[in-house]
Each structure stands twice: as structure tokens, then as C-alpha cells.
Amino acid sequence: MPEIVFITTAGDEVRVGVPVGMSLMRGAIESGIDEIRAECGGVASCGTCKIILDEANQGKIAPASAIEGSMLEDDPSGYRLSCQIVVDAAMDGLVVRVAPAEY
């Protein structure tokens, strides 16, 4: 099972095993990372599941879809919706930072 490293807004490192085929959002929630609120349940409409990828990790994930991109148009580079990222085996060791809440 790929291990994803979540960095919380407090700077804590949480290592989570996320099954292939599960979204990063679901993996975070099921591991108790409650900063990922995911209020829309994963349909790319709330923006409360944002994570940040540094440059080294951006190439490990497929580019955002048009729908995801429209939710991120006001965010800096590297922001993604964790509900739209489906974990695959190549993501083992991926490091993502939880984005600060916007409100």
C-alpha cells in the first residue's frame, strides 16, 4: 500500500498508508487528519480538501482536470484538491502539505 506523507498546518508529519484507488482526501480523513474537512464529500465543489504539492512532487500526479482547475484558479501553483487525486502505486512516498483553511 503506498505511503503518503501529510504535513499538517502545524508542521506535524503524518505517514498514512492509502490503498491504491482511494482518493488522497479519503485516506487523510480515515487516518484522522481532520484539517481535511471535505465538506462536499469529494465532488470538487467545496475546496475544503486542498493540499499543496512542492515542485518535486507535482510531476508525480496527473494534471488537474478542468473541473478541479476551475476550483483552484485563485490559488498559487501547487494547490490541488485531494478528493480528485486517486492514489496509485507510483505515489509511494509522496509528500503533501495540508493547505491552511481559507475561512
Interaction between residue 47 and ligand FES (CB under 6 A): yes
Query: Site map for ligand FES, 51-80, x if CB under 6 A?
Result: ------------------------------
Per CB under 6 A, the list member of 38, 61, 87, 99 interacting with ligand FES is 38
How many angstroms separate the CA atoms of 39 and 73, rounded? 19
Per CB under 6 A, the list member of 18, 26, 33, 48 interacting with ligand FES is 48
In the chain, how long is the greatest CA-to-CA distance? 34
| 39 within 8 A of 56, measured Cβ to Cβ | no
